[in-house]
């Protein structure tokens, strides 16, 4: 009987340690995903800002912040995102613990403010050949980017899609960011 009680005490002692180990493992994994999420958001914001090349001649002439060439800005965004996330030529992240699989640009947009009007250059799938333009008269403060950011000055919005491994399963994830060139 005493032998059975000793085994039972050992088992009862191991169970809390096992539970603590599992909880610690899950907490560490969640912290890694949070850090990765922050890193990806920062890379996205930096890529958006890098692509917002302002037309200095127009700024000197009219004091308006406008992009020099929206199509070139779209290409610049792609190059910067590729570098900031360490993507190869197939757009696959070299750090597979961060992103598993290919990164796709779902949308890239530039919002220019001219007076009270907003001009929206949209590049579906981040492709410059798919660009379309929409102008909204008196749209300052009423036009919003897809993430809900209110457009009050030159802004750049991007949305990317990718997969992450979460406890052995591939999950589809997207990140989106709108940066205001003046505020950021």
Q: Whole domain around residue 57: which residue ranges?
A: 3-180
37-89 pLDDT, tens digit per residue, is 888 999 999 999 999 888 888 888 888 888 889 999 999 999 999 999 999 99
156-169 pLDDT, tens digit per residue, is 999 999 988 777 78
**Separation CA 80–CA 154 (nearest Å):** 19
81-91 pLDDT, tens digit per residue, is 999 999 999 99
* Per-residue model confidence (pLDDT) at position 85: 92
Domain count, the chain: 1
* Per-residue model confidence (pLDDT) at position 70: 93
Mean pLDDT over the full length of the chain: 86
**Separation CA 137–CA 121 (nearest Å):** 15
Say whether pLDDT at 104 is over 90.
yes
Note if the pTM is more than 0.75.
yes
């Amino acid at each position: 009987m005493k032998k059975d009680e000793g085994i039972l005490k050992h088992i009862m002692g191991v169970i809390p340690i096992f539970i603590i180990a599992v909880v610690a493992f899950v907490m560490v994994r969640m912290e890694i995903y949070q850090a990765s999420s922050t890193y990806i958001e920062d890379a996205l914001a930096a890529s958006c800002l890098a692509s917002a090349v302002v037309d200095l001649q127009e700024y000197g002439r009219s004091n308006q912040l406008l992009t020099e060439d929206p199509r070139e800005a779209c290409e610049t965004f792609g190059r910067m995102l590729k570098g900031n996330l360490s993507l190869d030529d197939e757009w696959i992240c070299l750090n597979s613990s961060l992103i598993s699989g290919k990164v796709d640009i779902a949308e890239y947009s530039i919002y220019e403010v001219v007076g009270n009007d907003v001009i929206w250059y949209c590049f579906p799938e981040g492709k410059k050949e798919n660009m379309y333009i929409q102008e909204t008269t008196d749209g300052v403060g009423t036009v919003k980017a897809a993430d809900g950011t209110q457009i009050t000055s030159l802004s750049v919005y991007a949305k990317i899609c990718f997969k992450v491994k979460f406890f052995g399963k591939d999950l589809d994830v997207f990140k989106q960011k709108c940066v205001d060139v003046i505020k950021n």
